[in-house]
Structure 1
Amino acid sequence: MSIEHCVYIIECSDGSLYTGYTNDLAKRLKMHEQGKGAKYTRGRGPLKLRFHQVFSTKQEAMQIEYRIKKLTRFQKQQIIAKQRVGDVIDIRE
């Protein structure tokens, strides 16, 4: 059984965007909804999954997560609209 390394963007009820990494997206989203995820998302529900993309390695996924977190809100919205990280940032860097 292979593990999926996933980067995701959640929209909080206040309109803010949270970016994270997980190897089990369904479980992680449930944790966020229950207030057991990141401190940032606690009390900001309901949460909506706006984007996710699977990567072949944990290292690649975590590098992309780090780079997305540095983007502007507009750039994150572009990723959400296009449903692809590679259309906004060069993922080969």
Structure 2
Amino acid sequence: MGIFAAESYISLLVAFAILATAIFAFVNSLLYSPQAYEAAGKLTKTTWCTILGLGVVLQFVPLGLFIINIALLVAALVYLADVRPALGSLRRR
């Protein structure tokens, strides 16, 4: 196995990890009510679902828009690190 084959496998693994993260964040954003987003003081549900849905769709489109994919991955990570815990804390009360 050459170095280029290993690099291809690693790139494929990273792409699947990014896709899985984007899908998980998108599906999770659909589970909360619009009122929960407002109560948590975050962007609206429509806004988050649009951003995260775009992130999932653009992962499947091979346009070479690497910087946009990275920006949408960062949005998914922000959702998972900031918004999701805020929404979850509202549910536990």
Name the TM tier (shorter chain).
under 0.3
Greater share of helix residues, 1 or 2? 2
Greater share of strand residues, 1 or 2? 1
- TM-score under structure 2 normalisation? 0.26
- TM-score under structure 1 normalisation? 0.26
